[in-house]
Amino acid sequence: MSSWKKLLFTFVLFGLFYESQWKARFIYCYLAAMSLAAVIAVPLWLLDITVRSGREAGIFMTNHSSQSLAFVVATLCCIFLLKESLSLQKKSLLVGVMALFLVNIFFISPSRSGYLALPAAAAFAFFILYKHKKLHYIHGIVAAAMLLVILTSSTLQQRIKLGLEEKTNYQSSESVTSIGIRVIFAQNTLELIQQKPLFGYGTSSFKTVYSAHVAAKYQDWRGAPASDPHNQYLFVWLENGLVGLLIFLAYIYTAIRQGASQQPYGAIAASVLVAVAATSLFNSNFKTFPEGHLLAFFVGCLLARQPKNMAEAECA
């Protein structure tokens, strides 16, 4: 249960950030910190400097996935703030830092999660900002931008190529690969879900149930114990059944729906949630320490509503 405690922070923050000025302070403080991080990452990458053992050049946060998602969230903040009534100088500054974030996401970081999260969340953000009448333009712009990035980023090209190779050769691979292990996780988790689809095996049961299942089935790396399938939805379904999965999806849907009606701050929170929901198809980012806390803060701070009695008093 401790891995889910991050969601409890959301409810604490609801009571602290209901005033719009505190939401703005939170956003601008976050953007300032991420701008500094983005500036630091670029020369580290250009000079091929590794500052953390086992990490790629330019990656100095927890790992490339966490760092990429942090910049994805910062980019989403910029998208919504550019729609606000700001001075030309401030908008130019936002465009500049957003360009830095995009360089970090698509050129420096090898995180495939970031490559998925930003297009999905950006498409949602533009839809919120410009509604149905410009939907085909939005799809075209996002598709054109992604095509440009794919053609110009060697980092992204190499990671996609490697992922396709790992997916093709996972059955004959003699060692664990990032994509190969995810395919094995998904196959075996679905096999277990079929046995108890409605109510699952119980909270915290994944490691015990999954490890016993694969140990009896394989004699190589595929039979190694695991505590997570690197898919948040399969994890919830196995442990808490279809009932738990529907409750989990209802939480996501409710938060996104509420956020979409509260611009700009609630909409930022909803977009961040879309980004995390997308990456959670291949990770368990609702539970992981950095991503889970990041999500809790953005949802808790930016979806907080002013108490009804205070709102009525201001109107009076």
Structure tokens at 162: 């490697």
Per-residue pLDDT tens digits for 250-280: 999 999 999 998 889 999 999 999 999 999 9
Q: What pLDDT is recorded for position 226? A: 94
Please give the angle made by the CA atoms of 73, 76 and 81, to the nearest 5 degrees: 130
Q: What pLDDT is recorded for position 316? A: 47
Maximum distance among all alpha carbons in the chain? 72
- CA distances to 4, 106, 122, 290, 291 from 295, rounded to whole Å, are 12, 21, 16, 9, 6
- CA distances to 9, 43, 76, 88, 125 from 129, rounded to whole Å, are 28, 34, 12, 20, 6
Q: Does the global pTM surpass 0.75? A: yes
Q: What whole-number distance in Å separates Cα of residue 120 and Cα of residue 276?
A: 10
3-state class percentages of the chain: helix first, strand second, coil last, to nearest 5: 75, 0, 25
Q: What whole-number distance in Å separates Cα of residue 100 and Cα of residue 132?
A: 30
Per-residue pLDDT tens digits for 105-123: 999 999 999 999 999 999 8
Enumerate the domain spans of the chain.
Answer: 20-169+178-315
Q: What pLDDT is recorded for position 46? A: 94
